[in-house]
Each structure stands twice: as structure tokens, then as C-alpha cells.
Amino acid sequence: MPTPEEFTEGKVLLIDKPLHWSSFQAVNKVKWSLKKHLGLKKIKVGHAGTLDPLASGLLIICTGKFTKRIPELQGMVKEYTGTFHVGATTPSYDLETEVNQTFGTAHITEALINETTKQFTGEIDQKPPVFSAIKKDGKRLYEHARKGEEVEIAYRKVTIHEFEITRVALPEIDFRVMCSKGTYIRSLAHDFGQAMQSGAHLTALRRTKIGDFNVINAISPQAFEDEVTP
């Protein structure tokens, strides 16, 4: 285990964020553990890329002087695995909100599913979900959404490096995606459903890689606390 001085000089920690935890909670757990068990009263701790509470997986947390590396780490290609539920949409594009519309799926075949992935490979235009933390007119988009306010959301260019279907058991489709910074997998689910003349929303998401960092080398926030406990 690194010394308190090494944490202050800077460490890159690989944390496997549990489902239903916010990224902020995971950072706070690490910071609290360092303060309580290693006596570090003042230490900078930050993460390199938010994961939604409904997603699990790799969260890179930097300490001390390595917090300056966060912008560089945020720009790395990310890999996700997860599940789309086909035939229904939700306002948030995931399980945060209830189903608001249902669609037919009888026409959906594995051939159509695999063909549709080609439309979402390379540089694409993507509109972020209205239930997201992006700011518009000084407020988070989700704040507007929860008040029922209509907001105009601009498309942005993102890159999908790889898009692989790993299991089809309708209404569920499992996938693996490698993508650029700023990509919303929830939006990918929504747009993918539309492209198949149906609807879809995200029901499971796990971040497995950021650049060369892999979740198989990550530990839970609780395991981190156990490691730094004398």
C-alpha cells in the first residue's frame, strides 16, 4: 500500500463503482478513507469521467498532484458493455424513468440488428438525453426535464470505434461499445431502437475500459478502505 506521501504526490486509483452509487459518492469514500486511516487532512481527490448511478464499472480516481492528469484521462477511448431493451422507450432513455411508449418488435431480426450497428459506427451526430447533467441556460438538463420544461438540445459529434452485438434474446440485446469522450450510451440505445423502426432503452451498463486501464484491475470503494486501514 502506498504511503501517505505517495498519495499526496499523486496516484491513479482504479475503482469498480458499484451499481446505484454516484461517482461523487465513490470519490468521497476514497477521500474519507485517506483522511481517516492515513491522516491526510488535506488531499485533492477527483475522478476522470462520471458514471451514472445506474451504471457500474471502471472509475479512475486521481489523488494529490495527479489530479492535474484528469483532463488527459478523460479524453481516452472508453469501452462499455450492457443491455438494450427493445420495444419500449423511457424519457430518460434508461431505467431512471418509467416506460412512456411501446413499439412493435415482430419485424426485428438478428440480421436487422447487426445491419443497424453499421449506422452507428464511426463519427456520428448524437443528441444527449434530456435527463443529463449538461448545462443549458445555467441549469442542468435534468433540472429542466424534471420541471417539464422544453429545452432545445444541440447534436454533438461523437465517435463509435467499435459496436458489437454479443447476445440477442428479444426484447434484450447485449452489446459492447468502444467510443469517444462525450458519448451517451443511453442516447445510443434510444437512437438504435428508432433506426430499427421501433424503440429501445438502456437497462444495464458497465464501463470496462478507459484507454489501457481495465476494470479487471479495479477494486470496490470498500476494498480500497480495507487496504488503507492499518
Position 14, amino acid:
L
Q: Report the distance separating Cα 214 and Cα 218, nearest Å.
A: 7
Task: Report yes or no: 31 and 23 within 8 Å, Cβ to Cβ.
Answer: no
Q: Report the distance separating Cα 125 and Cα 120, nearest Å.
A: 9
Q: What b/e string do you get for 142-163 counting C-beta neighbours within 10 Å, with b at 16 or more?
A: bbbbeeeeeeeeeeeebbbeeb
Residue 118: CB atoms within 10 A of its CB come to: 9
Backbone angles phi, psi at 145, to 5 degrees: -60, -45
C-alpha torsion angle, residues 14, 19, 21, 27 (rounded to 10):
0
- Is 52 one of the catalytic residues? yes
Choosing from 16, 52, 94, 191, the catalytic residue is 52
Whether the link from the prior residue into 128 is cis, omega within 30° of 0, is: no
Residues forming the active site:
52
